[in-house]
Amino acid sequence: MTFPEELSQVPSRPTKRARARWLSLPVALLIGTTATAAWADDVPISDAARQHFQAGVNLLQDPDGARYVEAYREFQTAYADSPSWKILSNLGITALKLERDGEAADAFAKYLAEGGSNIDADERAQVERDLQTLRAGLVKITINSDPPGATLTDERVPEAGGTVVNRYGPLTGPTALGIRGGRHRMTVSLSGYKDAVWEFDTPGQGDSHTFKLNPVPVATGGNAGNPDVGTSPSTTAKRPVPAGVFVGLAATGAFAIGGGVVAVLASGKRSDYNTANANIKTKDDQDNAKSLRDSGRKLNLIADGLFAGAVVAAGVTTVLYFTRPTKEQPATATSWRLSPAVASNGGGLFLSGSFH
């Protein structure tokens, strides 16, 4: 079993012998008795470490292309469980592919130091040259966030190819990073705070930067910045609608409906009058017709008055609505009741309500 060809295409161009050393590492990990013998002088290798290492190898051999991000995490997990120097070469290669140059340099340096005489002489010479080249372009900076706990996203735009993105954190204190020179955009994010951004070209060696995070403003009338605090049921408004508007709307409707009801009654009285007037034979018939005529006129006057009241109420309501002041006002609850009333000589609607 070998790694895919892409794994050997690192910028350092390792020698054929060095490449063969890196590509043969899974064999030492995956063959039971052989692995035990090959790693007898190294730290004990747990089953979990072997599984994570193999998962990393499988990700590098993905038919759709090597998945370096996932493979890097698997090699990290394997090394954290069983810190063998033989995992470090794979860890360094994937870190280098991801442009996590500081971590790649650390991995290669530990590989050389801990592997010692177990590393082939030609391979050692090649890795030392590669490490020297890597360190020559490595820029070390220190990043911090205030308050701590933020996540850092580093985006580098190379001269050719797509944007390279790496994430670090949470930043619990000053964090040393080794980055590749070029144009960078660093963004830190922390819940409850606005993102902070630092854009720069290659910084000076040893530069440091602290991201000062500002809290997200709390929305008026709510607690957007503090989800643990409940919102008061009595909210405020910039231009609250005054109670007079609701009264005006109710009065307009009441007058209009009342006018309609009375107008219908007046029309009935007129019809009764016309019938009675056409059949006058006695003085009683004449008096009855006159009474019906007078009742109809009264109802017409009442209807006209109610319709006029509706027009006036609508006008007042409109003025109150469009001239309402800007101020804070607790929400109010209102209840209304319309009660129709009809009598022999008239009718209408009665409005009653309450505020609480």
pLDDT confidence of residue 137:
85
Query: Where exactly are the structural domains of the chain?
Result: 5-136, 139-212, 243-355
Q: Give the residues across from 350 on adjacent strands.
A: 339
pLDDT digits (tens, 9 = 90+) for 270-316: 888 788 888 887 878 788 878 888 888 888 889 888 888 888 888 88
Tokens of 326: 């800007």
193 has a pLDDT exceeding 90: yes
pLDDT confidence of residue 160:
75
8 has a pLDDT exceeding 80: no
pLDDT confidence of residue 40:
41
Decide the pairing of beta strands 208-212 and 138-146: parallel
Give SS3 for 7. helix
More confident residue, 221 or 262: 262
Q: Which residues are CB-contacts of 269 (< 8 A; sequence separation ≥ 6)?
A: 292, 295, 296, 299
Decide the pairing of beta strands 175-180 and 138-146: antiparallel
pLDDT digits (tens, 9 = 90+) for 124-160: 898 898 889 888 888 888 999 999 999 999 988 877 7
pLDDT confidence of residue 210:
93
Mean pLDDT of 115-120: 90
pLDDT confidence of residue 353:
58
| Whole-number CA gyration radius for the chain | 43
- Report the Cα–Cα distance between both ends of the chain, in Å, rounded: 81
The sign of the CA dihedral 314, 319, 322, 323 is: negative
pLDDT confidence of residue 310:
80
Helix (H) or strand (E) holding 123: helix 121-136
- What is the Cα–Cα distance from 284 to 296, expressed in whole angstroms? 18
81 has a pLDDT exceeding 80: yes
More confident residue, 129 or 227: 129
Closest Cα partner for 84 from 126, 155, 36, 17? Answer: 36
Mean pLDDT of 64-89: 94
pLDDT digits (tens, 9 = 90+) for 231-261: 444 555 567 777 877 887 888 888 889 888 8
- What is the Cα–Cα distance from 179 to 165, expressed in whole angstroms? 12
Q: Give the CATH architecture of domain 139-212.
A: Sandwich (2.60)
pLDDT confidence of residue 327:
67
Q: Which residues are CB-contacts of 123 (< 8 A; sequence separation ≥ 6)?
A: 14, 15, 17, 18, 21
pLDDT band, residue 4 (cuts 50/70/90): very low
Annotate 230-257 with DSSP letters as a single string.
PPPSS---SSPPPHHHHHHHHHHHHHHH
Proportion of the chain above pLDDT 70, given as a percent: 74
Question: Looking at domain 5-136, does it have CATH number 3.30.530.20?
Answer: no
pLDDT confidence of residue 349:
54
pLDDT confidence of residue 229:
46
Question: What stretches of 279-326 show up as alpha helix (H) in DSSP?
Answer: 283-322
111 has a pLDDT exceeding 70: yes
Tokens of 303: 């209807």
pLDDT confidence of residue 145:
92
Closest Cα partner for 103 from 115, 86, 113, 90? Answer: 90
Closest Cα partner for 189 from 147, 142, 150, 154? Answer: 150
pLDDT confidence of residue 23:
38
Mean pLDDT of 202-209: 80
pLDDT band, residue 346 (cuts 50/70/90): low
- The single residue listed with the structure tokens 């002088």 is 41
More confident residue, 6 or 65: 65
